Amino acid sequence: MAENKGLTPRGEDFNAWYNDVVLEAELADYSPVRGSMVIRPWGYGIWENMQKGLDGLFRDTGHENAYFPLLIPMSFIEKEKEHVEGFAPELAVVTHAGGKELEEHLAIRPTSETIIYHMYARWVQSYRDLPILMNQWCNVMRWELRTRLFLRTAEFLWQEGHTAHATAQEAEAEALQMLNVYRRFMEEWVAMPPVTGMKSESERFAGAVRSHSCEALMQDNRALQAGTSHFLGQNFARQFDLKFQSEAGQEEYAWNTSWGVSTRLIGGMVLTHGDDVGIVVPPRLAPVQGVVVPIWRKEEEAVAVREKSDEVAARLKKTGVRVKVDGRGHLTPGAKFWEWERKGVPLRVEIGPKDLAKEQVVLVRRVTSGEEPRKEFLPEAQAVAEMPGRLEAFQGALLQAARDRREANSHRGITDFGQLQEIMDGPGGFVYTGWSGDPAVEERVKAETKATLRVIPDPEFRSATAPTRCIGGGDAKMEVVWAKAY
């Protein structure tokens, strides 16, 4: 494997490693605007593949893309009390334009519920106009005090879905459907298996009735809230007069949902799969799935090796593999290997003069599961034919490794507060306990352990035996998952 050049080892300082690897893998760089980032082509290519995967899932579930304004009148933000209280500390506000102060200040969107439901109210008259199933890809701004590339920035890219329905049942089904869409995407594309469930009252989205979340466990055993889906009830519909005439002829308020994931998923990918060499990109997200590196020592060898490299790349492209030939003559093969391993390209194909003579290639995996060799010498035709299958196997191995790590660091059946504190002071991870539903217990855990209640897990993730004792004492009403989080 390529030499580690300039990365802080994960075991020495995980946070420093993360910052180093995001910069060195050319995912992003710091912007001159505090808390903002520049997403570089390699990072943006990963985001484009995330968009492609998610957009297909959205369309499969009947959603359409639209676009709504960046600037939102402050009066809109202030209409929903919980909403404004939740976002007020993070708002960036435009007060002047055209050389003078605006009569009404404008918020740079922290999220778009208010402007979208204002517009829906103009478009909806009858139950026949429902449901509205829309999504937008855009940027938002939340003036964060503490920022980290991809994980928490003042401006970030995301998608936000907003729907309107005739009944509460339809809206609740929509919120759960989109939660499962996110889970599927995280598992099948990002190879990052989340635990899904409902948020507690203190953790729910400002203005929602219920919030559902995908919580993934990172390599340092901290949780990452990777995506959320909210049942908004009629809160925003009432504030923005989003009403319709029902089939029975009565005037009713619509029921709404909103849901979103962001470029935080790129940070989650890094934190889930990266190593001391660099990032590891799951093949379905990789802008380049296979890099072909021609190797020569003498100039008279270069032409034949380059021609064969181009030929192999062309054949790989016909199989659907995203491939690049790195024919840069001013870099040594070792420097190229280091760069592509740092960027996390799943597979590398090396072709030199000896390989031409033997009609073979050298196939190198970015990481292995321990069951296969990192480097293989394969007949050229075999390597080309097997590449798509090998990429799928690579994708599956990453998911299995992440799932195994999550389960190995999930602590179930914890009934004693001291045990919870010991785990949070030590290895960390997901801790499953009983909870009475008392917010005071939640506050105590947060104050004494720095952990937060991540989710009330969905049935699939609950322990085989339901807990009977609350971690704070007394009887438990439900099982919950605690963790320190990003």
Residue 340: enclosing H or E segment and its boundaries? Answer: helix 333-342
Residues 6+ apart with CB under 8 A from 114: 72, 76, 77, 79, 80, 83, 236, 239, 240
Q: Where in the chain is the domain with CATH 3.40.50.800?
A: 290-402
Token reading at 161: 């879905």
CA 198/CA 194 separation, integer angstroms: 13
CA 113/CA 332 separation, integer angstroms: 53
* Tens digits of pLDDT across the chain (486 residues): 444 568 999 999 999 999 999 999 999 999 999 889 999 999 999 999 999 999 999 999 999 999 999 999 999 988 866 766 777 788 999 999 999 999 999 999 999 999 999 999 999 999 999 999 999 999 999 998 889 999 999 999 999 999 999 999 999 999 999 999 999 999 999 999 999 999 999 999 988 999 999 999 999 999 999 999 999 999 999 999 999 999 999 999 999 999 999 999 999 999 999 999 999 999 999 999 999 999 999 888 899 999 999 999 999 999 999 999 999 999 999 999 999 999 999 999 999 999 999 999 999 999 997 778 999 999 999 999 999 999 999 999 999 999 999 999 999 999 999 999 999 999 999 999 999 999 999 999 999 999 999 999 999 999 999 999 999 999 999 999 999 999
Residues 6+ apart with CB under 8 A from 464: none
Q: What is the pTM of this model?
A: 0.95
Nearest to 286 by CA among 53, 28, 483, 113: 53
Q: Which fold has domain 290-402?
A: Rossmann fold (3.40.50)
CB 370 within 8 A of CB 359: no
Residue type at position 300: E
Hunting for tokens 């980032």 — which residue is that? Answer: 37
Cα of first residue to Cα of last residue in the chain, in angstroms, is: 30
Cα→Cα distances 403→151, 192, 400, 408, Å: 21, 8, 5, 9
Chain-centre distance of CA 78, in angstroms? Answer: 30
Nearest to 87 by CA among 116, 117, 67, 113: 113
Token reading at 202: 């203190």
Confidence (pLDDT) at 305: 96
Hunting for tokens 């506000």 — which residue is that? Answer: 93
CA 409/CA 422 separation, integer angstroms: 14
Q: Where in the chain is the domain with CATH 3.30.930.10?
A: 14-273
| Beta strand residue intervals within 23-123, DSSP E | 28-30, 37-39, 64-65, 71-73, 92-97, 100-108
249-253 own/partner pairs: CB under 8 Å, 24+ apart: 252/166
Within 10 angstroms of residue 216's Cβ, the number of other Cβ atoms is 27
Q: Where in the chain is the domain with CATH 3.30.110.30?
A: 409-483
Token reading at 37: 């980032």
CA 229/CA 225 separation, integer angstroms: 11
CB 287 within 8 A of CB 272: no
Q: Is omega for the bond preceding 131 within 30 degrees of 0, making it cis? A: yes
Nearest to 48 by CA among 266, 218, 316, 259: 266
Residues in the chain: 486
Architecture of domain 14-273: 2-Layer Sandwich (3.30)
CA 158/CA 139 separation, integer angstroms: 6
CA 150/CA 28 separation, integer angstroms: 8
CA 44/CA 383 separation, integer angstroms: 29
Residues 6+ apart with CB under 8 A from 112: 68, 72, 136, 138, 140, 160, 162
Confidence (pLDDT) at 2: 46
CA 221/CA 451 separation, integer angstroms: 12
CA 337/CA 326 separation, integer angstroms: 10
Token reading at 49: 């593949």
Task: State in words which class domain 409-483 has.
Answer: alpha beta
Cα→Cα distances 100→69, 76, 91, 94, 107, Å: 21, 22, 21, 11, 17
